Amino acid sequence: MRKMRIAPGRARRAMTLVAGLFGALSLTGAAQAAGDTVPDSTWAATWAASPEPPRSPPTVLNNQTIRELARVSLGGGRFRVRLTNEYGAKPVTIASAHIAIATGVGAQIQTPSDRQLTFNGKAVVTIPAFSSVVSDSVDVPVPNLSTLAVSLYFPGPSGDATSHFFGLQTAYVAAGAQTSAADLPGAATLTERPFVSAIEVGVAKKTKVIAAIGDSITDGFGSQMGANHRWPDHLAERLVARKAPTYFAVINTAISGNRLLHDFIGPNALSRLDRDVLAQSGVSHLIVLEGVNDFGFPGARKLLDEEVTADDVIMAYRQIILRAHAHGIKVIGATLPPFGPIPSRPGFYSEASAAKRVAVNAWIRSGRAFDGVIDFDAVLRDPKDPTRLNPLYDSGDHLNPNDAGYKAMADAIDLKLFD
């Protein structure tokens, strides 16, 4: 809603009983393992959306309920939610918060799965300015790759919302307190993700969380709205289908328009690494696909004092590797796909920036600094002209892939990288 417009033998038996109540749900091995063995302190991020400062006009909620949909990668039997007011200049009060499994039809939820979220046992929570909160856990059986609905009621003005702007998923805004409503008929819609920054699942010990940090190519720009066709989404699907004793979650910590070394859209990757990756629960692997905007934006936005060299980008990669390794996280480097020329963004592409991309990719492939390499450049480039994006995978802007391109990216990832 924008200003002035609407635009965790008892646990096993307990889980079995709960599963019986949800006849429509077919619990996966991951969910059963989570319900059987999870201590309350063992968590893994299963979905994320990196917070960004408010855009203009900012989203403001007032005596309204917002219902946001998020497809989790790894299911389980216990969940909690992170809410953010990181860019809010004043405290924001949420009078009611609920989580439920979405039906897949608009704002509708499976009402037997609806759970009230509490914070230190209280239904009402006030998030301090420039801060965030984590809810108490709730027990609800959720299969892998399920879409959860997080509903928040704001009794008064929320202030300018901290959001993930390119949500590529419809959120629903309705008048009054309707967090447990089965549906929100007539609700206004948004395509950003205000206030909700992560969903965590209680897990068994053999669980790995793969975080993907990047820009619009990881955020999924150019893919189908609401279809979960980003390459991290497809990677999650492949890992869920894999018959292995280890469970995997995949979280997307990209921001469209983001850069490694300079702020522009969202804080630069080096500055947000701690918040978006290192502070996420259970991260074991990090995939880095970022740097194109570092080369393109100075020319496109007349930011000549922010010109960077290939060595500057390599330095950023080395810093990410060093900091992630300190937390026991393996770092996988992804080569940068071709970009441009881009008629809609004059100055973004140049022969000089293209040469920098080639130099960076050569270092990623041969530098042995990363714990593994994914060659997205080889996947997406045009066989007839390797300096250009393959037309079959081009969303139309000669920079971001389409749905077929994103699937090709995920299908090209060697899953042994995570063993």
Query: 171 versus 265: which is more confidently predicted?
Result: 171
User: 234 falls in which pLDDT band (50, 70, 90)?
Assistant: very high
Residue-wise pLDDT for 7-64, tens only, equals 333 333 333 333 333 333 333 333 333 333 445 458 999 999 999 999 999 999 999 9
**Pair of tokens at residue 334:** 């992804």
β pairing state of 207-214 and 283-289: parallel
Residue 379 to residues 209, 236, 273, 413, 417, Cα–Cα distance (Å): 24, 19, 26, 10, 17
Q: Which amino acid is at 362?
A: A
C-alpha closest to that of 295 among 314, 281, 309, 315 = 309
3-state secondary structure 173-229: EEECCCCCCCCCCCCEEECCEECEEEEEEECCCCEEEEEEEECHHHHCCCCCCCCCC
Question: From CA 233, how far away is CA 217, in angstroms rounded?
Answer: 12
Q: Which DSSP helix (H) or strand (E) runs through 115?
A: strand 115-116
pLDDT tens readout for residues 379-401: 999 999 999 999 999 999 999 99
Q: Does residue 329 or residue 304 have the better pLDDT?
A: 329
The percent helix, strand, coil of the chain (3-state, each to 5) is 25, 30, 45
Distance CA 33, CA 73 (A): 15
268 is written with which tokens? 């630069």
Domain positions in the chain: 11-24+48-198, 206-418
CATH superfamily of 206-418: SGNH hydrolase (3.40.50.1110)
- pLDDT score of 27: 37
| Closest to 91 (Cα-Cα) out of 132, 147, 144 | 132
Distance CA(416)–CA(135), nearest Å, equals 34
Select the more confidently predicted residue: 1 or 240.
Answer: 240
Q: How far is CA 110 from the centre of its chain?
A: 23
Span between the terminal Cα atoms of the chain, in Å? 44
Q: What is the pLDDT of residues 361-384, one digit of tens each?
A: 999 999 899 999 999 999 999 999
User: What is the value of pTM for the model shown?
Assistant: 0.90
The pair phi, psi for residue 48, each rounded to 5°, is -155, 155
- Bridge partners of 30? none
Place of tokens 């860019």: 87
d(CA 114, CA 111): 5
